[in-house]
Structure 1
Amino acid sequence: MKTRTHAFWLRCLWLWLLLGGAATLSATAAPTLDGLWKGPLKVPGGQLEVVFRLVSLTGGSYFATLDVPLQKVSQIAVAVEIKGDTVIFAAEEAGSSFVGRLASGGKQIDGVWRQPGYQSPLTLTFTAAAINTAPKARLTPPYREEEVVYSNIPANLRLAGMLTVPAGAGPFPAVVLLSDAGAHDRDGTVGTYRMMGILGDYLTRRGIAVLRFDDRGTGSSTGDLARTTIAELVSDVQASLNFLRTRPEINLAQIGVIGHGEGGNVALLSATQPLPPAFVVTLAAYGVPGNELAVQQQAALLRSLGTEQAQIDAASKRQKAMLEIVRQTPDEAQAKAIVANMLRQNNTAVDGEAAQASAAELTSFRYRYFLGFDPLKHLEKVKCPVLLLNGTADLYVAAESNLTALTKTLRGNRDMTSKKLPGVNHLFQSDPAEWPLVNGQPRETFSPATQEIIRSWIVARTGGGK
């Protein structure tokens, strides 16, 4: 599944000229490039790793995609063309391309990345792709799986997902899983990483039923996520909880919610409403207002790229000025024009078309709402048990500021646990050095220690699970 969170633009305000979209084009090339081609793309303030994935198809064409792991951008379709020793990767709709020359050994391509108003040298090196036998060799899990569809009547939409139930008669404790900001499928898929699918499997194998569903307008669910606020997403949680309450294999008094990123804030808000969940687990939920979080995200990213503090401070100052324009200019067309002008004046290499595209995203309904969102409002109403988790390696929702703010606000809750997870990033992956090897290649996975923290905390409050 192609999954891009809206946070790509939010978190990379000053790196916005890196990527702008995708196009699927026919491509013709000899089947000699199968695998991964990786390289560091220099951008203002540092560099980002880009990964081209190529798989040869019958007839000599390629299926090819582009990933930018640091930005959680994945599976952008590209076209591949080979002319002698010249290799061309293109995303024409975005006006972006990479043109390079394949070295004699066939393991390196030296070339140039180009897009409107920007170009940079780029060297790609070859890595053999791991053999993925999972689709053919998937074993039947030791629990029941059921495709489900249920209605959110107040919002007049249908939610589709997967209910997994442990073996046995039950009734079992259960959780609803909520993904981070942006359109995600029921597995919370980012590239080949299935965050919610992995967590759901772990919990179900250990005695906890799990309901995970496609976000609005994604997969088999209806609705329009782009015009939906965080507060309005609470009704999706309520619909999910009520669906589980109809199931005889589910313990009615032990249904909780686990939310990632923005989903964690939705989970907390659901606990302030009538018929709340029995417990809430947040995974890197926001603890500071959206406009502050956006500045924190950019600063953390630039810092991770080795940018000097003076440059970070200057970028933050420009960003704050722009965000204030967005917040204080209700006329969308006027705000868009001002922001586009600011972008071009801040970087004269940026062309008008790219500036307009960025300005449209930065002044969109969803982003405006995000900037004004106060994650601490109403949390004094949360009375159920709460587990707050945040990784110390999270560049998008910093543990120090966000976890601290949530912990302080919920201090009146008699059963609130707050934990910082050493070395865990925003996707709740541990250090890559700790990833398991699959077919000789490290495979990204949900932090095992974090999974067990979640399971044991739930079991301690429900008596269920193993």
Structure 2
Amino acid sequence: MRFFLRLTITMVLSLLILTVDAQEYIADSVVFKSSIDTLQYGATITKPNTGSNFAAIVIVSGTGPQDREGTMGGTKWFTILADHLTKNGYAVLRMDDRGVGQTTGAYEVATTYDFAQDALQAVAFLKKYPEIDPERIGLLGHSEGGAAISIAASQSKDVKFLISLSGLAMNGLDALITQNESLVNAAPLKDREKKRFHEVNALMFAKAYQYADSTNTEQKMNEVYENWRKRDSAFFALQEDKFDTFRFPIHRYAPQVATPWYRYFVRYNAEMYLGDVMAPILAINGDRDNMVVPHNLEMWKKYAGRGKNKQVETHLLLGLNHLLQPEELNKQYDGTNREKIGLAPEVLTIITNWLKMNSF
């Protein structure tokens, strides 16, 4: 595969564009079984054409069912990562999420904890795979994948390093609150509407946490919302604007809160898992990320080894969004050509330099 640099008049930062030349490294499509349940995983392993005893990296996806290419915003994220890393001497495994492609199971009933177990099954598979060094296998997680790799590393010494790309290191409740505050603040809304969203969101998240183990969670959320709506309507009636366009999607939110994923995530305790991780960690975030806010980076150092893990390196990169792409450039592309936007080159450079500096 080859990368070409695409320059535009308005573009200061060049982006990597992927083309295919299969002669540069080996790409194997594999299927392997779980050792703890009946799941089957479909994946692709890339490794250099020459050499042996390669360090290996398992890519762990974020929220939402994704295939092994990791297509997000039109960009084949995982393919680009695997291509870059393999060209730099590393083996990479990227797999289909549960219920996608060749991987069995049902994504909709799985939790972040389950995704961590999937990552550990991939590590176990790689330990026995030809030309892989079993003592140099690490995990790379994006978004919610940051939480999944933290859980996995806390449970197995086979995980020798972690790489977080916009990866979550905050508690689940805190993450939900800050994420929605960031999204609302960035939205083209009047200040009064933003205030109402912040109020109802904070209330709903707190109640979702409170009733996470309840058998009638959905009913409780509807009751909480209805009480808020009555108070809000009474207040709005006193305002000069006669037309109230504010809408909170309770019909979608309440059923979501009752799902296994949400029940687990809202109670997710990042410190409990990261506190047991002493492996080296690299964490990268963009300062334009509205999904995993920049403050999240501090948690990697604060929580890892309960603050005693000194092998934690963090980078906050200016102008990059949740996909670690330049936010301003991303806005110039529509769905027909956004696949030409890759990860910002400095992200890939930081990863490669860090791996080599730590002798992986």
Q: What TM-score, normalized by structure 1, do the two folds share?
A: 0.64
SS of equivalent to 2:272: coil
Match for 2:184: what amino acid? L
**Alignment deviations for residues 87-138 of structure 1 (CA, whole Å, 9 cap, x no partner):** xxxxxxxxxxxxxxxxxxxxxxxxxxxxxxxxxxxxxxxxxxxxxxx9xx84
- Whether the 8 Å contact between 2:138 and 2:160 is mirrored in structure 1 is yes
Q: Structure 1 residues 266 and 304, CA, compared in 2 at 3 Å: closer, same or farther? A: same
SS in 2 for 1:222: coil
Secondary structure of residue in 1 paired with 2:112: coil
Partner amino acid for 1:388? A
Return the offset for 1:397: 0.6
Identity %: 27
Contact 2:164 2:284 in 1 (8 A): yes
1:355: Cα distance to partner? 4.4
CA distance in 2: counterparts of 1:358 and 1:386, whole angstroms: 34
Q: 1:254 touches 1:462 (CA, 8 Å); kept in 2?
A: no
CA-CA distance at 1:177 after TM superposition = 0.3
CA displacement, residues 157-202 of structure 1 (integer Å, 9 cap, x when unaligned): 0111100011103121110000101211112112421111111111
Q: 1:211 aligns with which of 76, 79, 93?
A: 93
Contact 2:326 2:344 in 1 (8 A): yes
Give 2:297's aligned residue.
403
3-state DSSP of counterpart to 1:459: helix
> Larger Cα Rg: Structure 1 or Structure 2?
1
The residue type equivalent to 2:177 in the other structure is V
Distance in 1 separating the partners of 2:199 and 2:327: 32
The alpha-carbon distance between structure 1 residues 156 and 295, as it changes in their structure 2 partners (threshold 3 A), is same
CA distance in 2, matches of 1:436, 1:327: 39
Is this contact kept in 1: 2:67–2:96, CA < 8 A? yes
Q: What are the within-5 Å matches in structure 2 for residues 281-320 of structure 1? A: 281-307=163-189, 309=191, 311-320=193-202
Residue 161 (structure 1) aligned with residue 43 (structure 2): yes
Name the SS for the 1:232 alignment partner: helix
Give the direction of change, closer, same or farther, for the CA distance of 1:399–1:358 in structure 2 (3 Å limit): same
Q: 3-state SS of the aligned residue for 1:177?
A: strand
For residues 298 and 191 of structure 2, what CA distance do their matches in structure 1 show? 24
Q: Which has the higher helix share?
A: 2
What is the number of residues matched between the two proteins? 324
Which of 291, 310, 322 is the matching residue for 1:426?
A: 322
CA distance in 1, matches of 2:151, 2:287: 24
- Which residue matches 2:13? none
Residue 247 of structure 1 is aligned with which of 121, 126, 129? 129
Instruction: Render the CA deviation track for 1:51-103: whole Å, top value 9, x for unaligned.
Output: xxxxxxxxxxxxxxxxxxxxxxxxxxxxxxxxxxxxxxxxxxxxxxxxxxxxx
8 A Cα contact 2:300 2:312, kept in partner: no
Task: Note if 1:381 corresponds to 2:276.
Answer: yes
* 1:100-119 matches, cutoff 5 A: none
Instruction: Give yes or no for contact 1:160–1:213 (8 Å, CA) kept in 2.
Output: yes
Deviation, structure 1 residue 376: 1.8
Letter in 1 for 2:34: N
Query: Distance between the aligned counterparts of 2:191 and 2:35, measured in 1?
Result: 50
Stretches of structure 1 that go unaligned for 5 or more consecutive residues are 1-133
Deviations 1:192-242 (A, max 9, x none): 211111111111111111000001111110112222222232221111111
TM-score of the superposed pair, with normalisation by structure 2: 0.81
- CA–CA separation in structure 1 for the residues paired with 2:48 and 2:70: 21
Pair 1:416-2:316 in alignment = no
Identify the residue that residue 139 of structure 1 maps to in structure 2: 21
| Alignment partners' CA distance in 1, 2:120 and 2:30 | 16
| SS of corresponding position for 2:125 | helix
Which amino acid in structure 2 is aligned with residue 335 of structure 1? K
Question: Counting strand residues as a fraction of each chain, which structure ranks higher?
Answer: 1
- The aligned runs of 1:23-422 (5 Å cut-off) are 138-307=20-189, 309=191, 311-329=193-211, 330=214, 331-335=216-220, 337-338=222-223, 341=226, 355-400=250-295, 402-410=296-304, 411-422=307-318
CA–CA separation in structure 2 for the residues paired with 1:284 and 1:276? 23
Partner SS for 1:398: coil
Q: Is the 8 A contact 1:152 1:235 kept in 2?
A: no
Deviation, 1:430, is 2.5
For 2:77, the aligned partner's letter is M
Is contact 2:137-2:160 (8 Å) kept? yes
Question: Which amino acid is 2:71 matched to?
Answer: T
Note if contact 2:290-2:321 (Cα within 8 Å) is conserved in structure 1. yes
Contact 2:282 2:313 in 1 (8 A): yes
1: CA distance, partners of 2:190 / 2:66: 35
The corresponding residue for 2:344 is 447
Distance in 2 between residues matched to 1:147 and 1:196, nearest whole Å = 15
Q: Could you tell me how far 1:350 is from its partner in structure 2?
A: 8.6
Question: 1:138, 1:227 → 2: CA distance?
Answer: 36
Distance in 2 (CA, whole Å) between partners of 1:190 and 1:344 is 35
Partner residue of 1:50?
none
Q: Please give the secondary structure, in 2, of the residue aligned with 1:257.
A: strand
Unaligned residue ranges in structure 2 (runs of 5+): 1-17, 234-243
Superposition RMSD in Å: 2.8
Q: Distance in 2 between matches of 1:314 and 1:337?
A: 17
- Report the Cα distance in structure 1 between the residues aligned to 2:329 and 2:251, rounded to whole angstroms: 41
More RCO (CA 8 Å, sep 6+): 2
